Amino acid sequence: MHIIPPDLLRVARMGWHVLPVRAGSRAACFRGAVDHATTCPDTIARWAARWPGCGWRVVCGPSGLFALDVDRPGTHAADGVAALSALVRRHGPLPPRPMTRTGGSGGAVLFFRHDGEPLRGQAGYPAPGLDPHRGRQAVTIPPGTHPATGGAYTWRVPPWEVPPPPIPHWLARLLAPAPHPAATPARRMVADRAPGVLMRALHAVCDAPPGMANTTLNARAYALGRWCGAGMMDPAQARDTLLHAARRRQIPMSEARATIRSGLNAGLRNPRPQGRARP
């Protein structure tokens, strides 16, 4: 059996869900890889044997991670290092955290724990040169090479030495989704309560009685789907929060994804009235 790279095995044992990508590329080695990202050493070993020399990416959502990709000018147009330094001077320091060195470009990826906070996932937030990743989004980790430079990704601060800390409050605030520009005042007032609804859903699944976790997950997925159907919640944020809750409750990911998809779709078909504040 092909030997798993030691650093990759370490992060898998920490609960980081990984998938293989083609050497020197960000393209997954097979279709649907994001949904099959795993921590299972046997599966990872099979992938390593089938695609020797491949790179690796970690999927943020099931791993309970938020990753901030910091670009340097040269291979990128914007200077994310300068942008992040300016934000830190304005808002406060970042806690010690795992961090990779982007191969050949001088950039970095910073890893934080994601506890279900609603966050943007678009490049350029909260400033040009900064790319946030959460949910189904994935980032490259060692071993791997940068597609543009060919340089190797390495750990500056490995997660087995410094575990991912919570996202700083100021950073989560800057990454909070913007309200819908066309929303009426009444609709905005209800939509502003969406973060609290998400957190209540997370805690409901985590605190469900024995044997009721998956049933609770389905019920909360349906409730959040109704919010999404009314246009007052981002479906990706709802899915990410529920996946994080399922991971914390140790519901198998394949079972959790099916339950969440079913519940959200049912809720989307039955949008909630916009005048009510709770799911």
pLDDT tens for 75-111 read: 666 789 999 999 999 999 999 999 999 877 778 999 9
Q: pLDDT tens across 221-254, in order? A: 999 999 888 888 888 888 888 988 898 899 998 8
What is the average pLDDT value for the chain, to the nearest integer? 87
Q: What's the confidence (pLDDT) of residue 188?
A: 54
**pLDDT at residue 22 tops 60:** yes
Neighbours of 225 (CB within 10 A): 29
* Pairwise CA distance, residues 146 & 93, whole Å: 28
**pLDDT at residue 218 tops 70:** yes
**pLDDT at residue 162 tops 80:** yes
Residues in a beta bridge with 140: 57
Q: pLDDT tens across 165-194, in order? A: 999 999 999 999 876 555 455 455 555 677
Q: Which residue has the tokens 């609603």?
A: 118
Give the angle 204-136-199 at the CA atoms, nearest 5°: 20
Percent above pLDDT 90 for the chain: 53
Among 65-79, 148-162, 186-200, the minimum mean pLDDT is found in: 186-200
* Pairwise CA distance, residues 169 & 188, whole Å: 22
Q: What's the confidence (pLDDT) of residue 155?
A: 96
Backbone φ, ψ for residue 226 (5° rounding): -65, -40
**pTM summary value:** 0.69
